[in-house]
Amino acid sequence: MEFRLIYEGPLHGQGAKSSHKWEIRRALHPQLQRLWQERPLKEAASRLLARPPRPGSASVIVEKGGLVFAPLVTQRLDLYAELSVLLFRQQPRGTLITDGGDIDNRLKTLLDGLRVPHGSMEGRTEMPADPDPQPFFCLLEDDSLVTKVTVESEQLLRPAKPDEVVAIISVHVKKTVLSPDNMTL
């Protein structure tokens, strides 16, 4: 399965401490939610998003700190992902260290934003005014399920703050083993 996600907004290189991971999750949630409504996920959604799981069937639902997450790429489904990121940023090519952080730390923040958090408060100092969606759709159960990442950096030629980016994330979901649970994906 292949698709693209788009993130537009701030991207700092603070890694695990960055609150921007939640902004990334919130920005990508509607895109991933819609993906679950399209083929081939549409046919598997009632089974894979079941709470509690149906007997003899896997569910992708993960509960962390009172929040419910629905990652697409999970170990349970024997899936992994390869990512290709086209990162548009204010700085010209060759400018690796920037006000928003260097590219590798920004990439780490982006990858953290694609996964289920380790806890409901990871990177947050307080709960948001708007409640988190239930389930909260994420790409990855864990970022260890990413086996390949390529990054191409381009200059964003429109006005934006120094830390703002446009990231086009091409996702290629692959199976480690073919199983009844992932056969339709």
Judged by DSSP in three states, 83 sits in strand
Phi, psi of 140 (to 5 degrees): -120, 140
pLDDT digits (tens, 9 = 90+) for 28-42: 999 999 999 998 898
Residue range 46-64: mean pLDDT, rounded: 82
What's residue 94's pLDDT? 58
DSSP 158-172: S---TTEEEEEEEEE
Q: Name the pTM for this structure.
A: 0.88
Which of 139, 143, 135 minimizes the C-alpha distance to 172? 139
What's residue 95's pLDDT? 55
Query: Bigger pLDDT: 112 or 94?
Result: 112
Q: What is the spatial distance between Cα 137 and Cα 160, in angstroms, rounded to a whole number?
A: 28
Residue range 102-125: mean pLDDT, rounded: 82
Q: What is the spatial distance between Cα 60 and Cα 69, in angstroms, rounded to a whole number?
A: 8
What's residue 129's pLDDT? 76
Residue range 100-114: mean pLDDT, rounded: 82
pLDDT digits (tens, 9 = 90+) for 61-101: 998 878 899 999 999 999 999 999 999 988 766 554 444 45
pLDDT digits (tens, 9 = 90+) for 129-177: 788 888 999 999 999 999 999 999 898 998 888 888 999 999 999 999 9
DSSP 57-122: -----EEETTEEEEEEE-TTTTEEEEEEEEEEESSPTT--S-TT--HHHHHHHHHHHHB--SSTTT
Q: What is the spatial distance between Cα 133 and Cα 100, in angstroms, rounded to a whole number?
A: 28
With cut-offs at 50, 70 and 90, classify the pLDDT of residue 125. low
